[in-house]
Amino acid sequence: MEWLKTLISRPSKGVSGKTGYWRTFKPIYDRDKCVLCYECYVYCPENCVEIVEKVVKIDYDFCKGCGICSEVCPANAIEMVKED
């Protein structure tokens, strides 16, 4: 079953370099509004949302600023803010 290693791949950080610098808008998280529904965690296409001790952590080294987390958040706890 050698094929299995070709078919499936596990995410690893930075295989294509840091992609965070592509970002135009940055997701800013507000813990007070967050209802811990995990939607941002599930939907982030880059797998750069982690939830650590009931707090959303966004890995800005790899977040490209697509805004999906903000879009799916039912509590408006993630705001997209233009980068400086």
Partner 1 sequence: MKTILTGNHAVAYAVKLSRVKVVSAYPITPQTTIVEKIAEMIAKGEMDAEFVNVESEHSALSVVYGSALAGLRSFTATSSHGLLYMYEMCWWVSNSRLPLVMAVVTRTIGPPWNIHTDHTDLMTLRDSGWIIAMAENAQEALDLTIQSFKISESLNLPFAVGLDAFVVSHTAEVVDVPDQETVDEFLPERKQAYRVDPNDVFAVGNIADNLETMRMRREMALDMEKAKGVIDEVGREFGEIFGRRYGLVEEYMVDDAEYIVVMTGAWSGDAKEAVDILRKRGIQIGLLKLRYIRPFPREVIERFDDRKILVVDRSFSMGHRGTLGIEVGNVVDCKNVVAGLCGVDVGFEDFKEMFERFVRGELGEVEWWI
15 near partner 1, rule: CB under 8 A: no
Q: Which range in 5-13, 54-62, 64-72, 76-84 contacts partner 1 by CB under 8 A?
A: 5-13
Residues written for the chain: 84
CB atoms within 10 A of CB 29: 18
6 near partner 1, rule: CB under 8 A: yes
Q: Which CB atom, from 25 or from 41, has the smaller least distance to partner 1?
A: 41
3 near partner 1, rule: CB under 8 A: yes
**Alpha carbons 33 and 24: distance in angstroms, whole number:** 24
